[in-house]
Structure 1
Amino acid sequence: MSDSIFHIFSNELFLDLTVYQYGYEKCDPLHSYGPFVRNHYLFHYIISGKGMLSVTEKDDSAVYHMEAHSGFLIEPGRINLYSADQKFPWEYVWVEFDGLRAKELMEEAGLSNDHPVFHPISDTAADKLRDEMLRLTQYPDNSRPFGIIGQLYLIMDALIQGSSNKKRLQGGKLSRFYAQEALSFIEQNYTLPITVEDMANRCNLDRSYFGKVFKDMIGQSPQDFLIRYRMSKATSLLTSTGLSIGDISVQVGYPNQLHFSRAFRNIYGMSPRQYRQQNKLLS
């Protein structure tokens, strides 16, 4: 195996759980990454060697020292730095992911910013997670999107079932119902100029309470989620159709093309036109 494998997965069709990047690396001594803030969840499984993770939030910071057969989670929006040991640098496999169910799955595995370190319940569980993550690295970029997403679900299953911090989810939560109602409302009405107030009214909830419930369940504010949902639909139209930018803007709920382009750039770091040029599917 090469000392480093790196893949990018760019497919906006998978909303519940999707991959952004994944790879493998056998690090040099003291090789480090950060300080940096991630936009998505990032999980590393340590195959061999040692290293450390530093996580900072506001004025507080925590340092974790880890070695082979453990792993660590980095949550989006957190300042982090991780570094290989000088004598025994680590070798790891990693995956960057996100989606509607990402926060829920990490909670089920017992992983969070306060508890970022994965400890397996057994050597068998550790080997299972390692093997599933290594299989993911064998998929070329974007060539088999359903295979890649399927492999991500197998990784999540191995992570949850193999975690010593695994938590049992409580079924039938009313908050889960409200979140699902809001998601259905967005899916059915994102082409219209809907607001957070409209979502709250759909659930018969006060706007501020609805916002808290939604963020607790989904991991994003209703407004941020609505914007990202619309932009994901826009990327599909940009790459698979010949519609004008103005027509796409209207189809994803933005009557004002300037507002649409500004929102798109905030998410993807480029204009809709540039995104189309870089990602247009071959006909």
Structure 2
Amino acid sequence: MIEYLPRSKQHPELHLTQFGMEDCTPGHFFGPAVRSHYLLHYVLSGEGVFEVGGIQYRLRKGQGFLIFPDIITYYQADPANPWSYCWFGFDGTSAKLLLKQAGLLKTSPIFHYDADDRIYRYLQLMNDSREFGKARETRLTGLLYLLLSLLVEFGPAASPELKETRAEIYVEKVKDFIEMNYPQKITIEDIAQFIGLNRSYLCSLFKQRLQLSIQDYLIRYRINKACEMMGNAELSIADISRSVGYNDALLFSKIFKKVKGSSPKHYRAEAYAKN
């Protein structure tokens, strides 16, 4: 069983390029060769070997290997106990980071997953998705995310380098949350709960990365948005205040002056004078 899929324009961040399953004959091999996308193999039964970078790995049921794009690899089924495996080809802008979170690197392309048969079930659901029409591509992408989430959850403990990468991800999540919700009455606790981290830890991490507290970042973001709205003559200062999350116009004016050095009214007048 094998199905090839076109490159996705709907999900450029992550998408399947192919998937399939094969019961290999004794000694069946592929390569040496290179691939143009990521290709994840998961052993369902039997044994075989995978070679990359001059290193040979012997694998069996519950193990798998990842082929990276443009890397020469070779793999072969055992002559006496040939493997059966399923595979998932994929690509996208988020693929590298997700694989890194799962501990899958060019220097460590092997993974283990023997908790249950979910990987095989995801393959079956991908195959069954043919009954879908316009939603099939989204469904396949969702199943791919579920598959990679297993590898992330059950992968090795994070390395210092990966922890650093995760810190950057958390900081970006804070910034994204503020960007989407700054007009609302949000708190630091709301942000920490959304991200799923302890409030104190998140605040410490954010300040360490940006040399700015989350609260100060939120205030500056709101005030900068208010400045962008000053050019709209249809909006009063009170309207702008409410639009950036301050129902109290006096409090807004006080904070605005502290950040910008002048009152909202004076700032607007200067902006109009320049234009």
Give the alignment's TM-score, normalised by structure 1.
0.54
Which residue pairs with 1:107 in the alignment? Answer: 100
Describe how 1:1-283 pairs up with structure 2 within 5 A: 5-10=1-6, 11-56=8-53, 61-120=54-113, 123-124=114-115, 126-140=116-130, 143=133, 144-164=136-156, 169-170=163-164, 171-173=166-168
Deviation at 1:142, TM superposition (A): 8.4
Q: Which has the higher contact order (CA 8 A, sep 6+)?
A: 1
In structure 2, distance between residues paired with 1:161 and 1:129: 13
Q: Distance in 2 between matches of 1:165 and 1:23?
A: 30
Q: Which residue of 2 aligns with 1:263?
A: none
The structure with more radius of gyration: 2
Question: Residue 169 of structure 1: CA displacement?
Answer: 4.2
TM-superposed CA distance for 1:166, in Å, is: 5.7
Deviation per CA, 1:160-188: give whole Å up to 9, x if none: 112245666444439x96xx9xxxxxxxx
* TM superposition shift of 1:41: 0.7
Task: Calculate percent identity across the aligned residue pairs.
Answer: 33
Gaps of 5+ in 2: 176-275
* CA distance in structure 1 between the partners assigned to 2:131 and 2:43 by the alignment: 23
Q: Do the aligned residues in 2 keep the contact of 1:129 with 1:159 (CA within 8 Å)?
A: no
Larger mean CA deviation between 90-99 and 155-164 belongs to 155-164
Q: CA deviation at 1:72?
A: 0.6
The verdict on how the C-alpha distance between 1:35 and 1:140 changes in structure 2, with shifts beyond 3 A counting, is farther
| Letter aligned with residue 139 of structure 1 | S
Separation in 2 of the partners of 1:142 and 1:44? 25
TM, length-normalised to structure 2: 0.55
2-structure distance, mates of 1:152, 1:27:
24
Give the aligned residue type for 1:53. F
Aligned length: 167
CA distance in 1 between counterparts of 2:70 and 2:131 reads: 26
CA, structure 1 residues 141+30, in 2 after alignment: closer, same or farther (shift >3 Å)? farther
One-letter amino acid matched to 1:80? T
Runs of 4+ more than 6 Å apart: none
Letter in 2 for 1:39: S
For residue 141 of structure 1, report the CA deviation from its aligned partner. Answer: 9.7
* Residues 87-108 of structure 1: per-residue CA shift (max 9 Å, x gap): 1111111101111111101111
Q: Tell whether the 8 Å contact from 1:50 to 1:89 is kept in structure 2 after alignment.
A: yes
1:78 aligned partner, one-letter code:
I
CA distance in 1: counterparts of 2:92 and 2:131, whole angstroms: 19
The two structures, once aligned, show a CA RMSD in angstroms of 2.6
d(CA) in 2 for partners of 1:40, 1:114: 17
Gaps spanning 5+ residues in structure 1: where? 181-283
